[in-house]
Amino acid sequence: MFNKILIANRGEIACRVIQTAHRLGIRCVAVYSEADRHARHVAMADEAFLLGPAPSSESYLRADKIIEVAKASGAQAIHPGYGFLSENTDFAKACEANDIVFIGPPASAIASMGSKSAAKAIMQDAGVPLVPGYHGDDQSPDLLRAEAEKCGFPLLLKAVAGGGGKGMRVVEAMSEFDEALAAAQREAKNAFGNPDMLIEKYLTQPRHVEIQVFCDNLGNGVYLAERDCSVQRRHQKVIEEAPAPGLSDETRKAMGEAAVRAAQAIDYVGAGTVEFLYDVDGSFYFMEMNTRLQVEHPVTEMITGQDLVEWQLRIANGEALPLQQDQIRLRGHALEARIYAEDPDNDFLPATGTLRYLRTPDENAHVRVDTGVVEGDEVSIHYDPMIAKLIVWDDNRERAINRMVQALEEYRISGVKTNIRFLHALADSAPFREEDLDTGFIGKHEDLLFPPAQLDENLGLVLSACFFLLRSKAEQTLPADPFSPFARQNSWRLNSQYARPMTLLSDDVQHQLSILEQ
Ligand code: ADP
């Protein structure tokens, strides 16, 4: 096994990788930006190197500096985490050129999946089911119009180079096609420098079901069941779970085998995720393959009892897959909620600020918190505003949901707005409990998901004031002589009543309180 690895990432995923590496006796090198000098991942690592200023382009995306640090520190391999350089072919190649193991697939496999249309062509050849549509190179408007007619409506225009839901447009009828095409092409050109489009039949009530695959260097491939990530907002996942509710063993096997076929078609190595759309009639279609560890990998770990980062490290080290397909067993049900610094009542505007108070639920066999922050840390504009991932496990879905609801109630954050109340309403809602899942879930159930704050603000201020008063009393030390006038614990004043002033800050608004003491 490696003696030392570098983690080219920050936040919860950097901490997560360091944890497993340490358990395996591997020393860890962290890299950080000026904004992350005191970050948790830096404190956890054995060595840490400054990359540059806060913006990612000057720090976590500086492939050249990261390779330099790896060489200077003697790291034998680099774990890229997710985001940043994790799906960057040039970075994977640069690692190889410098004799550093890239803990991920070969550059050629990343490149094969980099274009949605090229990926679809490869999958078609491998016999993996595709959403009907067009994914050819010819982009002339006449041909695209003819293909749209053939596909039928509603259809989805998707940027070939797309990601993060950008450059996508639903088209309801031919009369809207030209305008939608121009708009989607413009958006794709701006976001990815490539206006090319593919056309897909638009499924109106699909679920997003993805398969976790792993392949080693010896030609073996397995799938570790699926995750249901149907609860999305603007095509971004909000709550993920495993296994997918209601998926039959036959469908799981068929999807799993198709996913392994997909991975093997591109000589894949390491952890990968094959995303499918799962339609109401039980059919499924390849959507895309993510060539890295996913944010939501913990739910797979909880139901399989495996450590996927350990699998990644072992495979990168040239070892065979830790388990064969028939040795992979599933147990119980797991859910993950992404806790974000954002304001659900204000169109989920990302929030920034200092985490003034932070208490997480107790961690045990049922509750896990993956995080990269501690109390006092700053949530800045520079990076993804995810504060933590809350993961729960239990024997079945209902019990797991109860655990999630309870854990969300125990989560305490102040200083930064979060989506905790929204997640709680979502997890505890009847349609979620009843497995009424599809990618339109949040839009469909808006009336249930935005509950007003339960605590009336005045009551909140009074309770906060009581808390501070009690705490300051408890902290006072008594003078040696208990009968001295200075030992008095009340605020008695000759001829006057004392009003203790207090200023409380709540949601950026200052409240002036006067507390009359008798
Ligand atoms: P991106 O790479 O931009 O995230 P994806 O192709 O992964 O785009 O699709 C993101 C989401 O869009 C999916 O999870 C699903 O909710 C929705 N989606 C994608 N393709 C279709 C389709 N053909 N029909 C209906 N919904 C789709």
Q: Cβ distance 229 to 442 under 8 Å?
A: no
477 or 97: which leads in pLDDT: 97
Cα–Cα distance for residue pair 41/57, rounded to 1 Å:
19
The atom number, within ligand 1, closest to the CA of 116 reads 6
Is the pLDDT at 322 greater than 80? The verdict is yes
Contacts of 216 (CB under 8 A, 6+ apart): 269, 315, 319, 320, 321
DSSP state of 490: S
Instruction: Clarify whether 292 is annotated catalytic.
Output: yes
The atom number, within ligand 1, closest to the CA of 287 reads 6
- Report the pLDDT averaged over residues 72-84: 98
The atom number, within ligand 1, closest to the CA of 208 reads 14
> Which residue from 123, 273, 439 has its CB within 8 A of the most atoms of ligand 1, so it is best to mutate?
439
Q: What's the pLDDT score for residue 510?
A: 83
Query: Both tokens of residue 467?
Result: 């808390």
Q: What's the pLDDT score for residue 516?
A: 79
* 370 Cα: distance to centroid of ligand 1 (angstroms): 26
Q: What's the pLDDT score for residue 238?
A: 98
> Which residue from 277, 279, 290, 444 has its CB within 8 A of the most atoms of ligand 1, so it is best to mutate?
277
* 235 Cα: distance to centroid of ligand 1 (angstroms): 7
Q: What's the pLDDT score for residue 166?
A: 85
* 425 Cα: distance to centroid of ligand 1 (angstroms): 25
Rounded to a whole number, what is the distance in angstroms from the first to the last CA of the chain? 69
Residue recorded with tokens 């608004």:
509
At 462-513, the pLDDT tens digits run: 888 888 788 777 776 656 676 776 666 666 666 677 778 888 877 667 888 8
Distances (CA, A) of 332 to 134, 209, 226, 396, 518: 40, 18, 13, 5, 58
The atom number, within ligand 1, closest to the CA of 235 reads 11
Q: What's the pLDDT score for residue 467?
A: 82
Average pLDDT score over the chain: 94
Q: What's the pLDDT score for residue 505?
A: 79
> Which residue from 131, 158, 205 has its CB within 8 A of the most atoms of ligand 1, so it is best to mutate?
158
* 165 Cα: distance to centroid of ligand 1 (angstroms): 7
Which backbone phi and psi does 12 adopt, to 5 degrees? -60, -35
Q: Cβ distance 42 to 25 under 8 Å?
A: no
At 143-176, the pLDDT tens digits run: 999 999 999 999 999 999 988 778 899 999 999 9
* 374 Cα: distance to centroid of ligand 1 (angstroms): 34
* 208 Cα: distance to centroid of ligand 1 (angstroms): 8
Tell the residue nearest (CA) to atom 17 of ligand 1: 235
pLDDT > 70 fraction of the chain, expressed in percent and rounded: 95
Tell the residue nearest (CA) to atom 21 of ligand 1: 202
In terms of Cα–Cα distance, which of 489, 99, 88, 433 is closest to 291? 88
Q: What's the pLDDT score for residue 57?
A: 96
Q: What's the pLDDT score for residue 502?
A: 84
The atom number, within ligand 1, closest to the CA of 131 reads 23
* 133 Cα: distance to centroid of ligand 1 (angstroms): 14
In terms of Cα–Cα distance, which of 132, 136, 104, 108 is closest to 121? 136
* 391 burial type by CB count under 10 A (0-12 exposed, 13-18 middle, 19+ buried): buried
Tell the residue nearest (CA) to atom 8 of ligand 1: 165
Tell the residue nearest (CA) to atom 19 of ligand 1: 287
Q: What's the pLDDT score for residue 487?
A: 66
Long-range (24+ apart) CB contacts under 8 A made by 399-404 are 399/333, 400/241, 400/332, 400/333, 400/334, 400/335, 401/335, 401/427, 401/428, 401/432, 401/433, 403/335, 403/366, 403/367, 404/335, 404/337
* 282 Cα: distance to centroid of ligand 1 (angstroms): 17
The atom number, within ligand 1, closest to the CA of 166 reads 3
Distances (CA, A) of 121 to 113, 114, 128, 137, 274: 10, 12, 10, 11, 15
Tell the residue nearest (CA) to atom 11 of ligand 1: 235
Q: What's the pLDDT score for residue 470?
A: 81
Give ligand 1 pocket residues (Cβ under 6 A): 131, 156, 162-165, 200, 202-203, 206, 208, 232, 235, 275, 277, 287-288, 439
At 278-308, the pLDDT tens digits run: 999 999 999 999 999 999 999 999 999 999 9
Q: What's the pLDDT score for residue 489?
A: 62
Tell the residue nearest (CA) to atom 2 of ligand 1: 163
The atom number, within ligand 1, closest to the CA of 285 reads 23
At 191-216, the pLDDT tens digits run: 999 999 999 999 999 999 999 999 99
Q: What's the pLDDT score for residue 14?
A: 98
> Which residue from 116, 153, 208 has its CB within 8 A of the most atoms of ligand 1, so it is best to mutate?
208
3-state SS, residue 374:
coil
Among the options 62, 252, 292, 338, which is catalytic?
292
Q: What's the pLDDT score for residue 503?
A: 86
| 252 membership: H or E segment, kind and range | helix 249-265
* 274 Cα: distance to centroid of ligand 1 (angstroms): 13
- pTM as predicted: 0.90
Residue recorded with tokens 């200075």:
486
